[in-house]
Amino acid sequence: MKLFRRVLVVEDDVKFWKSRIPRLLPDTDWQIQFVSTVDKAKQTFQDDCNFDLLIVDYQLNSGTGQEFLEFVRKIDVNIPILIFSDEPSNKTFDIRDVETYKTLPFIDKNNCLANPEKAAAIIKAEYEKYMAVMCTPQIQSEYGQLRTVLVHTPFEEMEQIEPNDPWYLIDSRPALHLAQEQHIGFIKAIKENSLRPIVLDIGLLLYDVLKSLKGWELQQVVENILFSHGFQILTKRCAKYNLELSPLLREKVDEICSNDPQTITKVLLCGLNIADLLGEDAEHPMRKQRDCQIIAPVPNLYFMRDPGFVLGESFVLSRMYWNVRRREPSILHTVLNYHPFFKNAKSQAIDWNLDSGEEFFIEGGDVMAISPNNYAIALSERTSRQAVRKVAFELLKRGAERIFQPTIPVKRAFIHLDTVCSIVGPDYVVAHPEAVKAYANTLCWTHKTFESNDEPESINTDFIRVLQNHFNKKIIEVTDPSEQFDDAVNVLMIKPDTAVAYDRNPKANKALRKHGIQVIEFSGSDLVVGRGGARCMTMPIRRD
């Protein structure tokens, strides 16, 4: 996981600006790469899809910034671009170019030199404003051109897994370096084949937030992420060994918060071991427990689809079924409430973790955008009927028309709706029929349901027929049980005709191609052990 962003600076006077550019960048960690010619800039940008910002001098000795902008926007319609020049903007840069090339407002180099602090504040504000727009939730389909997506490249939390312990929901312990390489390859497949959507890592966003907080506010965030779930279980467990928890936790939170933000980020992802609390007390009986983790790590966080999801213009934070995953929405909650990129999304949030009342669960893998304002939320092992009712009620208030409720059998191979059924473009659905047809009764929630305080309408047919009869979808069946278990139907659409999928499911991928869908394959041998595929590993925030 990289805890920095990358910027490409296209500037012919590199020697002069090399020490000045860092002072103008927004308050985060940046890795800066300079190029001095248009041709070099084109080649660099073509070869490297992982820049987060472009800074381009509009007047270059080797050509014009406009020439480079035209090249950039043919392959990347999303990256923020800052244009600056030492000539007045009305002579070098037509104001209409801001809209044409979707750039940040023009920055005068002379102002940067005369008052770098003011210029930096303007750049920061404009950059964050642009990113807030790109992170404003908007999902009305599963296949529209992907614009912004949230992911998490596996980090050191993976190394905290107890081998072969089903508590972690992972079949075997992945090799961290391979999981990271494969996840990076997955992100590359997304960006290089879909006009380069903005890909944000939840770990880096959390790091940004922790860098910005001090004192009591930082302590509150650390406590919430570590202890907001399972505190009673933790207290009971420690009491069994005559260990008074409160003073130990206060000391530990103070100790954690005294570290640098990178270390704090690591602790929040990796959890706490009993030794972290007991310190030098090597004789304490709690040390002899086989399970010595008192705050579990979050090794399943790379399945970003589950702790939250976007439907329409609503950003919904889930309530996770398994204890080991219940800290994940707290991380998302922190980012949503504190990070400037999510300023607009925050106002559209539905946060079920703030509801301390009845017990209910919902996870993003059970949620699907069928068509504009028509959604599906499946009843499954990890999504309860109470949750479907609650989410349906909120979405209908916000403009939804119908919420369909299929039921998925409780089976290890059928974890969520998206492990047995995914929409692949405007015309097709790829599905494992055994699971989707198992319960031949789909329910439908509408405004009438709640107005009359009634039960949802029974459609008296399985979900595949709902997709066929109500939405004119054609079904691509995946019947091979081995490929289904390896998430053959769990594919991510990055644009209407292009899917990203594991390379380990040749029959399913061949079937998709047979129906005109381009399949971009990536290797995932150390990712699939968590029982999730390309769709599971992404939380789309914005699509066309």
Query: Under a CB-based contact definition with an 8 Å cutoff, are residues 471 and 371 in contact?
Result: yes
DSSP bridge pairs for 148: 198, 542
pLDDT level of residue 92 (50, 70, 90 thresholds): low
Q: How far lies 206's CA from each of 9, 127, 276, in Å?
A: 26, 18, 22
Q: What is the mean pLDDT of the chain?
A: 89
pLDDT at 290 over 50: no
DSSP state of 201: E
The whole-number pLDDT of residue 422 equals: 96
The one-letter code for the residue type at 250 is R
Task: Dump pLDDT digits (tens) for 308-360.
Answer: 999 999 999 999 998 889 899 999 999 999 999 999 999 889 988 766 666 88
Query: Under a CB-based contact definition with an 8 Å cutoff, are residues 38 and 68 in contact?
Result: yes
Q: How far apart are CA 19 and CA 122, in angstroms?
A: 19
Task: Dump pLDDT digits (tens) for 131-169.
Answer: 999 999 999 999 999 999 999 999 999 888 876 565 677
Could you tell me how far CA 263 lies from the centroid of its own chain? 22
DSSP state of 419: G
Task: Dump pLDDT digits (tens) for 491-513.
Answer: 999 999 999 999 999 999 999 99
Whose tokens are 């989410």? That residue is 391
The one-letter code for the residue type at 91 is K
The whole-number pLDDT of residue 392 equals: 95
DSSP bridge pairs for 308: 317
The whole-number pLDDT of residue 362 equals: 95
Give the largest CA-CA distance in the chain. Answer: 76
pLDDT level of residue 250 (50, 70, 90 thresholds): confident
- DSSP output for 17-60: HTTTHHHHS-SS-EEEEEE-SHHHHHHHHHH----SEEEEESEE
Look at 5-14, 143-152, 271-280 and tell me which has the smallest mean pLDDT. 271-280
Q: How far apart are CA 515 and CA 503, in angstroms?
A: 18
pLDDT at 61 over 80: no
Task: Dump pLDDT digits (tens) for 468-491.
Answer: 999 999 999 998 989 998 899 999
CB atoms within 10 A of CB 61: 10
Q: How far apart are CA 74 and CA 45, in angstroms?
A: 12
Cα-based angle 467, 351, 543 (whole degrees, multiple of 5):
45
pLDDT at 62 over 90: no
pLDDT at 401 over 60: yes
Does residue 222 or residue 359 have the better pLDDT?
222
% of the chain with per-residue pLDDT over 90 = 67
pLDDT at 514 over 90: yes
Q: Which two tokens stand for residue 51?
A: 């820049």
pTM above 0.75, yes or no: yes
Q: How far apart are CA 409 and CA 419, in angstroms?
A: 12
